[in-house]
């Protein structure tokens, strides 16, 4: 909102399903568990490590179990195609996230083949990702089943999606959209756990991230995280910061059922005059999960997401607001087969009023297949997306694979808006001039198709993979964030390309060279002709005790000149497409673990290139080094 206080009226269309009904359903799911006969306060280690259920233990055996082995997690619904270049899936567990040294989601995913990071500057400025040239509606983020809906543009601003308390990340690089799934911390030990991450570096940059988890607190389990990164930036008016918090309380009925209450908030601030001074995103969810029978898990959830902008300028008077989301999810895993589905109900036409989606697949010896389909309604228009894929092998070390993604995809053209403020009648009989609200976001719908066919081979530790690509888009849209908000659309077209990935062992033990390359016959918005990644990566564990571990990497990320959408210039110019120079960032990092303490050092832009930019005139820092520690603490 702007400098003037506004009284906001409530639109009757906001909530179409009574919240109390869904909340009652969430709580009810925990009281129909088939384990209702369990003795309260007892349990087992996670199912991944212990095959015997609590029901098979006698009371004497339960009483003899050490307290720090008794803990629970909610049943998991995280099924999907296996990770790999052939499937276009990449994943990170908690250890891999720590090793990556990423401060936010955009940094974590920066090395994915064919993925472009789009940043408006340093910390605090908007950030996004694009794959195969996608804009609005091209990135979806799912956090523990709850969709992180794009409230501030056509995609969610990644500057306000933190990694605090995140235990796993999974990315599906589909032809129509980049699907990012975040899973919060899951307990793997019965003792309280803490993680402290702190660092400092050039440009007066400071980093802190702290996580605490107690699996046996307040009659259930609790977990929370705080994170902050701030910098003065490079040049004038470049300072900024990000500050976030997460809290979760779970009530368990064994490992088969439970209720979880989640709160997440992230605030970003910047001195850059092109962007809002301060913006906050908050998500609150309540969910209940039940493992109906072995391998079949159901969930019902309800939640609210809000977008709050604090800037005295008139352009931000109406930006902001909250939106509800309710849903049901079901997941099945049996004998190499998996399937999952979700129905999501939203409270406003600026988002899909409802969305139904499903995916499934199977893995057998030397063969596998997967598929997905979704249908959503945006402001009265229906969109349908689909995808199928599979692989055969390895046979004699060779695997062949292919996939087809297509359909229509949609996203909002800009930020959600508050309702029109009520106007008080002045005492004197003067004409009333109500404030004029900008038009709300509209649905941007585009048809996108991607065909991908390839093969991979492994021999003597060497892995090589390649694929041919055919991408077709009816229209290219801007992201809808402040980076390019208001820019006109661009016509799409058909493009052909190739991509490859390689992993090569080096003579030094523990050292490998890994890289990826993507080349297109013609470029497009957010899609340069060439995108490349390469890095020497080292990892070894020393000493018989394994108490010393070392990682280091030296690599490069780059791409050719790229056309990007830009908004109007504020003087009547319509905006459109402009080209930014080629991008090349040499980087290095090293991390050493001694017992549970990790010391790290990272250095971006080793070549000190002073023209790095993802948008015209929005220069990125010419160089930055970080150093600090990460410390795991138990009990």
For the segment 617-635, what is each residue's pLDDT rounded down to a tens digit? 889 998 999 999 999 988 7
pLDDT value of residue 28: 43
> What pLDDT digit, counting tens, does each position of 15-31 carry?
344 444 444 443 443 33
Cα–Cα distance, 187 to 70 (Å, whole number)? 10
Q: What is the mean pLDDT of residues 489-501?
A: 94
Q: Could you give phi then psi for residue 52, rounded to 5 degrees?
A: -95, 130
Q: DSSP characters for 507-539?
A: SSTTEEEEEEEEEESS-BBTB-SEEEEEEEEEE
> What pLDDT digit, counting tens, does each position of 547-561 carry?
999 999 999 999 999
Measure Cα distances from 424 to 11, 421, 427, 437, 570 in Å.
Answer: 18, 10, 9, 16, 32
Q: Is the pLDDT of residue 342 over 60?
A: yes
Measure Cα distances from 155 to 149, 152, 410, 412, 481 in Å.
Answer: 8, 7, 10, 8, 7
- Residue 3, burial from CB neighbour count under 10 angstroms (0-12, 13-18, 19+): exposed
Mean pLDDT of the chain: 86
Give 399's pLDDT tier (boundaries 50, 70, 90).
very high
Cα–Cα distance, 205 to 208 (Å, whole number)? 10
Domain 19-32+71-234+258-634 has CATH 3.30.1360.10: no
Residues 6+ apart with CB under 8 A from 617: none
Joined tokens for residue 384: 């349908």
Q: What is the mean pLDDT of residues 395-407?
A: 95
pLDDT value of residue 430: 56
Joined tokens for residue 131: 């794959």
pLDDT value of residue 582: 94
- Provide the pairing of β-strand 398-412 with 381-395: antiparallel
The C-alpha angle with vertex 596 and arms to 591 and 600, in degrees rounded to 5, equals 20
pLDDT value of residue 617: 87
> What pLDDT digit, counting tens, does each position of 45-54 carry?
333 333 333 3
pLDDT value of residue 490: 92
**Domain residue ranges in the chain:** 19-32+71-234+258-634
- Residue 284, burial from CB neighbour count under 10 angstroms (0-12, 13-18, 19+): middle
pLDDT value of residue 54: 37
pTM assigned to the model: 0.87
Give 103's pLDDT tier (boundaries 50, 70, 90).
confident
pLDDT value of residue 437: 67
What percent of the chain lies above the pLDDT cut of 90? Answer: 70
Give 70's pLDDT tier (boundaries 50, 70, 90).
confident
pLDDT value of residue 234: 85
**Is the bond preceding 394 in cis, omega lying within 30 degrees of 0?**
yes
pLDDT value of residue 443: 87
pLDDT value of residue 433: 59
Looking up tokens 């010391």 gives 599
Measure Cα distances from 52 to 49, 58, 236, 286, 308 in Å.
Answer: 9, 12, 62, 30, 48
């Amino acid at each position: 909102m702007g400098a003037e206080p506004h009284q906001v009226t409530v639109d009757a269309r906001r909530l179409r399903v009574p919240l109390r009904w869904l909340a009652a359903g969430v709580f009810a799911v925990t009281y129909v568990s088939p384990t209702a006969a369990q003795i309260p306060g007892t349990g087992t280690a996670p199912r991944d490590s212990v095959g015997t259920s609590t029901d098979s233990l006698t009371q004497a055996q339960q009483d003899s179990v050490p307290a720090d082995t008794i803990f629970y997690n909610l049943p998991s619904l995280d099924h999907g195609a296996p990770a790999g270049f052939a499937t276009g899936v990449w994943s990170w567990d908690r250890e891999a996230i720590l090793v990556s040294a990423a401060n936010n989601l955009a940094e974590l995913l920066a090395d994915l083949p064919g993925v472009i990071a789009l940043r408006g500057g340093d910390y605090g400025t908007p950030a996004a990702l694009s794959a195969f040239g996608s804009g609005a509606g091209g990135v979806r983020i799912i956090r523990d089943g709850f969709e992180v809906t794009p409230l501030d543009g056509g995609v969610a601003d990644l500057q306000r999606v933190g990694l605090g308390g995140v235990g796993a990340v999974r990315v599906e690089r589909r032809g129509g959209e980049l699907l990012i799934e975040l899973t919060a911390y899951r307990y793997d030990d019965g003792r309280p756990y803490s993680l402290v991450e702190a660092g400092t570096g050039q440009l007066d940059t400071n980093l802190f991230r702290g996580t605490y988890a107690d699996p046996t607190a307040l009659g259930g389990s609790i977990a929370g995280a705080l994170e902050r990164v701030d910098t003065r930036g490079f040049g004038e008016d470049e300072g900024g910061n990000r500050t976030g918090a997460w809290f979760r309380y779970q009530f368990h009925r064994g490992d088969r059922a439970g209720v979880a209450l989640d709160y997440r908030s992230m605030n970003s601030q910047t001195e850059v005059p092109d962007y809002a001074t301060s913006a906050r995103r908050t998500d609150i969810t309540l969910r209940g999960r039940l493992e109906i029978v072995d391998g079949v898990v159901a969930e019902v959830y309800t939640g609210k997401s809000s977008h709050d902008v604090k800037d005295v300028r008139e352009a931000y008077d109406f930006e902001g607001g909250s939106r509800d989301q309710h849903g049901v999810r079901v997941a099945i895993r049996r004998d190499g087969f998996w399937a999952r589905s979700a129905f999501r109900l939203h409270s406003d036409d600026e988002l899909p009023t409802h969305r139904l989606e499903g995916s499934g697949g199977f893995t057998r010896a030397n063969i596998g297949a997967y598929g997905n389909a979704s249908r959503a309604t945006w402001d009265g228009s229906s969109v349908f997306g689909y995808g199928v894929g599979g692989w055969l092998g390895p046979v004699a070390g060779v695997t062949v694979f292919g996939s087809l993604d297509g359909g229509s995809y949609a996203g909002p053209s800009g930020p959600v808006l508050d309702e029109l403020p009520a106007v008080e009648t002045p005492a004197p009989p003067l004409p009333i001039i109500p404030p004029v609200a900008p038009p709300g976001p509209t649905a941007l719908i585009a048809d996108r198709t991607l065909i991908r066919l390839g093969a991979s081979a492994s021999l003597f530790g060497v892995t090589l993979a390649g694929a041919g690509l055919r991408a077709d888009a009816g229209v290219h849209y801007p992201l809808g964030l402040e980076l390019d908000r208001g820019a006109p659309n661009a016509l799409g077209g058909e493009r052909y390309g190739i991509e490859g990935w390689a992993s090569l062992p080096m003579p030094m033990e523990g050292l490998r060279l890994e890289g990826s390359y993507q080349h297109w016959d013609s470029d497009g918005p957010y899609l340069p002709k060439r995108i490349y990644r390469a890095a020497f990566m080292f990892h070894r564990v020393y000493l018989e005790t394994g108490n010393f571990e070392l990682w280091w990497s030296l690599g490069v990320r780059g791409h050719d000149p790229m056309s990007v959408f830009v908004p109007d210039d504020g003087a009547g110019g319509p905006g459109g497409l402009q080209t930014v120079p080629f991008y090349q960032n040499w980087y290095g990092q090293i991390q050493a673990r001694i017992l549970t303490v990790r010391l790290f050092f990272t250095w971006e832009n080793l070549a000190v290139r002073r023209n790095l930019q993802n948008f015209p005139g929005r220069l990125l820092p010419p160089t930055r080094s970080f150093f600090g520690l990460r410390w795991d603490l138990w009990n």
